[in-house]
């Protein structure tokens, strides 16, 4: 079975602070994909990143960075110099290589509030 755990239900920080959102996953697949999505109040899911299990290289995109640690089954997301517009619910998700069409297992989500 696959499972994604986001232990932080809500995080509130002041603007310009750095914040890290944790994600721990469980899977028996040797090949799998990890994702992060942002869900603003409008409800639409915004794709942020996809990582496959073969690639543990950390990635940086502007103020966003991701730390994939296969040894601890974690895929954490850091926002540097947070801004009010970063306020949203963030979901970590996992899909396994069972078939061509991949269904996603989502974590519980972390509600991030950036205060001015």
Partner 1 sequence: GAVVSQHPSRVICKSGTSVKIECRSLDFQATTMFWYRQFPKKSLMLMATSNEGSKATYEQGVEKDKFLINHASLTLSTLTVTSAHPEDSSFYICSAPSPPGLAGGNKYNEQFFGPGTRLTVL
Which stretches of the chain bind partner 1, using CB under 8 A?
33, 35, 37, 42-45, 47, 50, 52, 91, 95, 97, 100-109, 111
Closest distance to partner 1 from the beta carbon of 81 (Å): 27
Tell me whether residue 7 or residue 81 sits nearer to partner 1 (CB atom). 7
Output the six-digit token pair for 17: 């602070």
Tell me whether residue 13 or residue 48 sits nearer to partner 1 (CB atom). 48
Residue 26 phi/psi, 5-degree rounding, is: -130, 130
Tell me whether residue 42 or residue 71 sits nearer to partner 1 (CB atom). 42
C-alpha to C-alpha distances, 40 to 8, 33, 54, 57, 77, nearest whole angstrom? 17, 23, 30, 28, 17
């Amino acid at each position: 079975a696959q499972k994604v755990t986001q232990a932080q239900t809500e995080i509130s920080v002041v603007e310009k602070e750095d914040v890290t959102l944790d994600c721990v996953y469980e899977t028996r697949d040797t090949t799998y994909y990890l994702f992060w999505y942002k869900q603003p109040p409008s409800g639409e899911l915004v794709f942020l990143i996809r990582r496959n299990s073969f690639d543990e290289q950390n990635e940086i995109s502007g103020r966003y960075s991701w730390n994939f640690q296969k040894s601890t089954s974690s895929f954490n997301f850091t926002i540097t110099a947070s801004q009010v517009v970063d306020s949203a619910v963030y979901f970590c998700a996992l899909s396994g290589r069972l078939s061509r069409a991949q269904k996603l297992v989502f974590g519980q989500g972390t509600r991030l509030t950036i205060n001015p």
